[in-house]
Amino acid sequence: MSIQPFHLAIPVKDLELCRAFYRDALQCKEGRSSDQWVDFNFFGHQLVIHQKDDYKPQRISNPVDGHDVPVPHFGVVLQWEDWTILAERLQRKRTKFIIAPTIRFQGKIGEQATMFFNDPEGNALEFKAFKDIDQLFTT
């Protein structure tokens, strides 16, 4: 599957704290930057963090398969093995998960590995992988 990279810009209060998180914890390569924003290669997509001194993230959720899923959230669909490597690395770093690495819809169409956690500013991220990637958009 060949797709165009998306561009996402998000607010953060502490630019340097979030810069370290995306660069070190998620191992995203840093691109261009200024004293107010930083570009990252977010798994082949462009993520930009913008400093906003009065930023306060929303704290709402939606029930999905027995979990309270934070909305809004963003992330990436990884290959199963890459998801497993990331989950293990984040667990070793003692990441505080909103939803710990788990398998959702087990044995059903759309079976997927998923995990949710916040960046240092409270922006919710989800990383997932499908057992069968062809079921990504299956209804």
Structural domains present in the chain: 7-51 (3.10.180.10), 62-135 (3.10.180.10)
Q: According to the model, what pLDDT value does residue 1 have? A: 58
The count of other CB atoms within 10 Å of the CB of residue 70 is 22
Residues in the chain, pLDDT under 50: none
Do residues 119 and 68 touch, judged by C-beta distance below 8 A? no
| Residue reference for tokens 């770093």 | 93
Q: According to the model, what pLDDT value does residue 38 have? A: 98
Q: According to the model, what pLDDT value does residue 138 have? A: 80
CA distances (Å), 125 to each of 98, 100, 119, in order?
A: 9, 12, 7
Is the pTM for the entire model greater than 0.95?
Answer: no
| β-sheet bridge partners, residue 41 | 29, 46
Q: According to the model, what pLDDT value does residue 67 have? A: 85
User: What's the half-sphere exposure (Cβ side, CA atoms, 13 Å) at 139?
Assistant: 0
Q: According to the model, what pLDDT value does residue 19 have? A: 98
Q: According to the model, what pLDDT value does residue 41 have? A: 98
Q: According to the model, what pLDDT value does residue 49 have? A: 98
Q: According to the model, what pLDDT value does residue 102 have? A: 95
